Amino acid sequence: MADNIHSSAAVTNVIRDELIAGLCAPTASTSPKYLYDALGSKLFEAICELPEYYPTRTEAAIFERHGDDIAASVGAGATLIDLGAGNCAKAARLFPLLAPSQYVPIDISADFLHAAVTQLGRQFPDIAMLPLGMDFSATLDLPPAVSRTRRLFFYPGSSIGNFPPDEALAFLRRMREADGDLLIGVDLVKDHAVLDAAYDDALGVTASFNLNLLNHLNRLLGADFNLREWRHRGFFNPQQSRIEMHLEARRDTLVRWQGGERRFGEGERIHTENSYKYTPDGFAGLLRRAGYQPAHVWTDERDWFMVCHARRS
């Protein structure tokens, strides 16, 4: 018990130190994971329903339209390892098609996961369920209870886009080392106006999602960010092939937190998220370098998004 208390205090300090280092850097930045407090997760769900935010519904349409093909490529009886499973809804929709033998949803938020899995277990009694509460971006060291037969990592939603390409490669290699094939959703480069609108919507939900990060920082650090002094920026950077989200100071402002402070000049920014967009060839190259052969690729009719099944090479 004492050990647990000690280690959770240490984690809190690590989070504090990481956040403060990011805020004090010449170009301030924070990790996108801090966008997802309880309200942030709800705002992200709202983003997925926006007319401008195409990725979620485009990916769903690909699974809907090509489900039989995808199932034929993957085959029944896999060990389906769902990275960032959340409420498990995306994977559950594939159960009737993929008929996995074991389902292993992984998410940082373990409580949420256990509730979802209890429900699912009643619906699909033939699928063994093993929910794991862990930070899969830190390690893919899976416990021995995870079956070794025909592991398939399921990584939908273009979450891979949050990693810069070198880190995406390292992450893909870790899945390869864990002896898994891959079913992954990847957002594609497209008309810049479409990309800009998806991350700066007319209703301002993405702006709220981004600004809410400051509420979260205020709680985590005991900081005094005033949300009214900041504005959302979300745009495509074609040189880096990524969406960038920033929070920009509307005027000179001093932000204080327990044990420190920083002045932000008018127009100065905190970089809060990157979301990389790939070409099909660019992503295939990444897969090959990670030890995968892209077996099958499915896209929508506008080629806005792709779902890829990759086997170990």
DSSP 8-state class, residue 277: -
Asked whether the CA dihedral 78, 84, 90, 93 is positive or negative, the reply is positive
* Residue closest to ligand AVJ when measured from CB atoms: 275
Of the pair 62, 129, the CB lying nearest ligand AVJ is at 62
Interaction of residue 180 with ligand AVJ, rule CB under 6 A: no
Coil, helix or strand at residue 36: coil
Interaction of residue 30 with ligand AVJ, rule CB under 6 A: no
Q: For residues 234 and 220, what is the distance between their CA atoms, to the nearest angstrom?
A: 24
Q: Which stretch binds ligand AVJ (CB under 6 A): 114-122, 141-149, 156-164, 170-178?
A: 156-164
Who's near 78: CB < 8 A, 6+ residues apart? 98, 100, 101, 150, 151, 152, 181
Within residues 36-65, the interface with ligand AVJ by CB under 6 A covers 47, 55
Of the pair 196, 224, the CB lying nearest ligand AVJ is at 196
Q: For residues 154 and 91, what is the distance between their CA atoms, to the nearest angstrom?
A: 8
How many chain residues interact with ligand AVJ (CB under 6 A)?
A: 11
Answer yes or no: are the C-beta atoms of 217 and 223 closer than 8 Å: yes
Nearest approach in angstroms of CB 185 to ligand AVJ is 9
Nearest approach in angstroms of CB 162 to ligand AVJ is 5
The contacts found for 143-147 with CB under 8 angstroms, 24 or more apart, are: 146/79, 146/81, 146/102, 146/104, 147/79, 147/101, 147/102
Nearest approach in angstroms of CB 261 to ligand AVJ is 28
Answer yes or no: are the C-beta atoms of 91 and 82 closer than 8 Å: yes
Q: For residues 47 and 180, what is the distance between their CA atoms, to the nearest angstrom?
A: 31
Q: Which stretch binds ligand AVJ (CB under 6 A): 155-163, 174-182, 220-228, 251-259?
A: 155-163
Of the pair 292, 305, the CB lying nearest ligand AVJ is at 305
Nearest approach in angstroms of CB 275 to ligand AVJ is 3
Who's near 301: CB < 8 A, 6+ residues apart? none
Q: Which two tokens stand for residue 165?
A: 């390409």
Residue type at position 20: I
Answer yes or no: are the C-beta atoms of 62 and 298 closer than 8 Å: yes
CA–CA distances in Å: residue 186 to residues 163, 180, 191: 12, 18, 16
| Of 160, 207, 166, residue with least CA distance to 187 | 160
Interaction of residue 162 with ligand AVJ, rule CB under 6 A: yes
Q: Which of 131, 161, 180, 294 binds ligand AVJ (CB under 6 A)?
A: 161
Q: Which stretch binds ligand AVJ (CB under 6 A): 92-100, 130-138, 152-160, 215-223?
A: 152-160
Nearest approach in angstroms of CB 182 to ligand AVJ is 17
Contact characters 83-122, ligand AVJ, x per CB under 6 A = ----------------------------------------
Interaction of residue 206 with ligand AVJ, rule CB under 6 A: yes
Interaction of residue 273 with ligand AVJ, rule CB under 6 A: yes
- Residues near ligand AVJ (CB under 6 A) are 47, 55, 157-159, 161-162, 199, 206, 273, 275
